[in-house]
Amino acid sequence: MLGDFAAMRQSIFDGAPESAASLAKQALVAGVPPLEAIDQGFAPGMADVGEQYAQHNMFLPDMLASAEAMKAAMSVLEPELKRHGEQRATAGTVVLGTTKGDIHEIGKTLVGTLLTANGFKVHDLGVDVASEEFAAKARELKADIVGVSALLTTTMRGQKAVVEALERAGLRSSVKVIVGGAPVTRRWAEEIGADGYAKDAVSAVTLVKDLLEHRFALDSR
């Protein structure tokens, strides 16, 4: 065996970015194809964490540490992937933010973290974000998904404004809009013409996966 897949998996499980990165480097030196290191080594570690989280054996700080370790491994492997001309099946790009006038960020950030941990490229615009900013960033990054969070009844309308801004920018057909936040309901999502609603971060990941249908290589173990 060329690469120590078990150790790679463990490094993610342990949330150890240094050892994840050094195992990734060792794998490359040993001639392991980067895609194989991801699929057979690191990604299964992330899946283990997800499973343990669902069973309440691991918690959010563990999940975040594992996401960091995953990032460390990927930053070593990704340039090699590109050099090999190999294409990772893209999970998709998500632009995320909280509506204008609203500074609640915890829920939105959590959604971003779990999406990142599941292999999506997430660009977090932060809080108090104007609808045009969502549209501009979506255009710039060719985003697949725009996620809009709102925690106040007064700022929920900002979610509708994002849908409209994307329409004005001519991006509406290429971008799916998802919404969330405590006062937001599925009915509201339908009313404003959004493509999806999720009640929490875990279901947000499922939602995004469903919306994009094709699955990320990381997840195809």
Partner 1 sequence: MRPKLELLDRDLLARILDEAFEILEVIGTKVGAPEALDLLASAGARIEGGVARLPEALVRRTLQSVPHEFFLYDRTGQPTVHYGGDDVHFDPGSSCLNILDGETGQPRPAMTADLVRMVQVTEMLPQYAAQATALVCNDVPSEMGDWYRLLLVLWYSDKPIVTGAFSVPTLRTMFDLLAADSGGMAVLQEKPRAIFDVCPSPPLNWSAFASQNMIELARAGVPAEIVSMPLAGATAPVTLAGAVVQHAAECLAGICIHQLAKAGAPVVWGGAPAIFDMSTGNTPMGAIETAMLDMGCAQVGKSLGLPTHGYLVASDARQIDAQAGLESGSSALLGALAGINMISGAGMLDFLACHSIEKLVIDADAIAGAQRLIGGIEPRSEKLALDMFTQTGIHGDFLKLKETRALFRKEQHFPSAVIDRSGDSNVSGILTRARQRADELVAGYQRPAISPEVETALVTVALRQAKASGLDSLPGIELPAVVSR
Q: Which residues bind partner 1 (CB under 8 A)?
A: 56, 59-61, 101, 103, 106-107, 110, 152-154, 156-157, 182-183, 200-201
111 lies in the binding site for ligand B12 (CB under 6 A): yes
User: Residue 178's closest CA among 153, 206, 155, 215?
Assistant: 206
The least CB distance from residue 12 to partner 1, in Å, is 19
Please state whether 98 falls in left (phi above 0), alpha (psi between -120 and 50) or beta: beta
Binding part of the chain for ligand B12, among 2-10, 132-140, 163-171, 177-185 by CB under 6 A, reads 177-185
**Residue (27 or 204) nearer to ligand B12, CB:** 204
Binding part of the chain for ligand B12, among 36-44, 51-59, 144-152, 212-220 by CB under 6 A, reads 144-152
**Residue (114 or 212) nearer to partner 1, CB:** 114
The least CB distance from residue 60 to ligand B12, in Å, is 10
Q: Which residues contact 49 (CB under 8 A, 6 or more apart)?
A: 12, 13, 58, 62, 63, 66, 117
Please state whether 45 falls in left (phi above 0), alpha (psi between -120 and 50) or beta: alpha
The correct pick among 9, 88, 100, 108 for binding ligand B12 (CB under 6 A) is: 108
Distance between CA atoms of residues 98 and 111, nearest Å? 12
**Residue (36 or 200) nearer to partner 1, CB:** 200
The least CB distance from residue 101 to ligand B12, in Å, is 6
Backbone angles phi and psi of 147, in degrees to 5: -110, 125
Backbone angles phi and psi of 176, in degrees to 5: -90, 135
